[in-house]
Amino acid sequence: MRIAEPWAALPVPWAVERPDRIPKQRYYDPEFFALEAELLWPRVWQMACRLEEMPTVGDFVEYEILDQSIVVVRTSKTEVRAFYNACRHRAVKLVEGSGSCRSGFTCPFHGWCFGLDGANTYVHQPEMFDPKLLEPDDLALPPVRCETWGGCAWINLDADAPPLRDCVEPYATYSDAWRAETLQVEWWESCRLPANWKLAMAAFMEGWHVPETHPQLRPPEMTRALDARGVVDLNVEFMRRLSVGMAGMTHERDVRIAEGLIDLDLPADPQLAMATWRHTLNDSVVNWWHAHGVEIADLNELDRLGYSAPIAYCFPHTFILPTYSSASAYRFRPLGPEETLMEIWSLTRFPDDAAPRGRPTSPVPKSPDDPGWPPIPAQDFSNIPKQQKGLHSRSIEYLRLATKIEGLISNFERVVDGFLAGLPYDQLVPAIQQTNTTIDVPIADLRLAGSGSGPSRAAGGR
C-alpha cells in the first residue's frame, strides 16, 4: 500500500496519523486505556468461553472484561444465554469462576434467587420493600447478547451490535473449513504479562520475529542445497520443534504420522518431493483419524481452497493456529494499561476411547518467566515485557511498521481508532473483516472516515 500524505487520522487522542507509525502512548496512556474501556470493549464480540466448559444444563462460566462480570449459562442442550453477573438487590456477584446451578442462581448475600432464564424467583421478605422496587421485569437479570459458534460462546454488551457472524468473517469461514467446532481442550494455560494488551497481541501478528526470537525454528543456511529427501527431513524436524510442549500447534500424533512416511518414494526434484510428501501426509493424517472414528476436514481440499495459513486473527482478541489435525488458540484481555491476561489452549480431537473427562477449568495464571512454559511462548514472553519498558524511552515517539509485512498491526490499531471515534457499524464491520486475516499481510486501505461522534468525554491533550 502506498501511504498518502497526510493520512486522514480519526479524531481520537494518540490516533494513528500514518498507518506505518503507531504512537507509543497508545500502549500505556491511562486516558487512552479508559477510552478503550468505554468505547471499544462494550461494542465488540468477545469469546467468553468454550462450550465444553458448560456441557450440561445449569453449567455456568463467569467471563470478566475489565470491570464487567458476565455469567454465561447453558439453559438447554441447544441454548446458551448470558446475563450481567450482579444481584438486583445490592449488586453482589451471583457467581464466581465456573460451576453448576441447575435450579438457578442464589445470591450469597441475602438469598435472592434467579432462574436460568434470568427471572427473579425469590425475594426475602418482599413486604419490606416499596412495591415499585419489585416489578418483575425490573428484577430480572439484564441479558447480554450471546451467540455460539466455532465451539465457543461469544458475548457483546451492545444490544444493537451486528450479528456475530458479520463481525467474525472471514475468520469464521476459515475456521468452519477446518471444522474448528469439533476441537476439544487438551490443556489450557494463562500468563499475566506486564504489557499492554495491544502490544502483547502484536507480538503474534507477524512472523518476522521468528528467526531471532525462536532460533530453533530457523532453517539451516544450506537449505537450497538440500536434495529431495533432505527437504522432507527438514520439514519433519520443523514439525518436531513446533510440537515441543505445544501439542495443538503441531500435535505429536501428526508428527508420528509424518515420521512413518520416512520411506515414501519421492521425485528427485526437491519442490516436487515436498508437494508429494505434503499431499501424502495430509491424506495420512485424515485417514488415521477416520480409522479412529473421528471426522476431520480434508486437508488437501483445504490446501486447494487456500485455507492453510498457519494462523488466523479475529478482532479484537483471539487467534487460532490450526495445523493438520489440531490447533493452538490464544485470547488476550486487558487488566490495566500495562497488564494483560493471555490464555493459550491446545485443541485437538480425541478417539472415542481417549476423550477427556470432566470440564476444563480456568488455569491459575503463571508469570512470563515461569520455568514451566514451553520454549516457544517462553521465548515470546521474554521479549514482550522488555518492549513495554522500552516504550517509555524518551528516544521513542512511535513504532514504525514495515508496510508489506506488519500490516495487521496497523489495520488492527486503526479499527480500534474507529471504535474510539464512535464510527457506525456500517463503517466498522467492513474494516473488521479486512482485519480478520492471517499474519504477515500489507497495510490495508480500511476506508474509515471520521464521521462518528468522537470520544464521548474529554480526553487528555496530545
Residue 229: predicted pLDDT: 85
Cβ 1 vs Cβ 445: under 8 Å: yes
Distance separating alpha carbons of residues 15 and 6, to the nearest angstrom: 13
Query: Cell 522488555 appears where?
Result: 386
Q: How far apart are CA 341 and CA 330, in angstroms?
A: 10
CATH architecture under which domain 46-156 falls = 3-layer Sandwich (2.102)
d(CA 222, CA 207): 21
CA neighbor of 332 nearest in space, from 314, 353, 318: 318
* Entry pTM: 0.93
pLDDT of residue 226: 80
Radius of gyration (C-alpha) of the chain in whole angstroms: 24
SS (H, E, C) 180-218: HHHCEEEEEEEEEECCCHHHHHHCCCCCCCHHHHCHHHC
Determine the 3-state secondary structure of 370 from DSSP: coil
Do the Cβ atoms of 331 and 342 come closer than 8 Å? yes
Q: At which residue does the C-alpha cell 498507518 appear?
A: 19
In one-letter notation, the amino acid at residue 255 is: V
> What is the amino acid identity at position 377?
P
Residues 6+ apart with CB under 8 A from 122: 111, 112, 113
Strand segments, DSSP code E, in 363-454 are: 398-400
Residue located via cell numbers 508469570: 367
Q: Is residue 211 exposed (0-12), middle (13-18) or buried (19+ Cβ within 10 Å)?
A: exposed
Tell me if 182 sits within 8 A of 151, measured CB to CB.
Answer: yes
**N-terminal to C-terminal alpha carbon distance within the chain:** 28
Classified as helix, coil or strand, 372 is coil
Q: Is 65 helix (H, G, I), strand (E, B) or coil?
A: strand
Return the number of other C-beta atoms located less than 10 Å from residue 354's C-beta. 8
Half-sphere exposure of 111 (CA within 13 A, CB side): 5
> Residue 458: its pLDDT value, please?
35
The amino acid present at 340, given as its one-letter code, is T
21-42+182-207+311-435 against 46-156: fold identical: no
Q: Would you put residue 217 in left (φ > 0), alpha (ψ -120 to 50) or beta?
A: alpha
**Which helix (DSSP H) or strand (DSSP E) does residue 260 occupy?**
none
String of DSSP letters for 287-334: HHHHHTT-----HHHHHHHT---S-EEETTTEEEEEETTEEEEEEEEE
User: Mean pLDDT per segment of 10 residues, for the chain of length 462 residues?
Assistant: 55 95 98 98 98 96 98 97 98 96 95 97 95 95 98 97 97 96 95 98 95 86 72 89 88 94 89 92 96 94 93 97 95 98 96 80 96 94 97 97 97 97 96 96 89 45 34
CA distance 410 to 437: 13
Of 266, 430, 287, 293, the closest CA to residue 350 belongs to 293
CATH superfamily of 21-42+182-207+311-435: Naphthalene 1,2-dioxygenase Alpha Subunit; Chain A, domain 1 (3.90.380.10)
**DSSP-derived secondary structure for 118-160:** S-EEE-SSGGGS-GGGG-HHHHSPPEEEEEEETTEEEEES-TT
Boundaries of every domain in the chain: 21-42+182-207+311-435, 46-156, 211-305
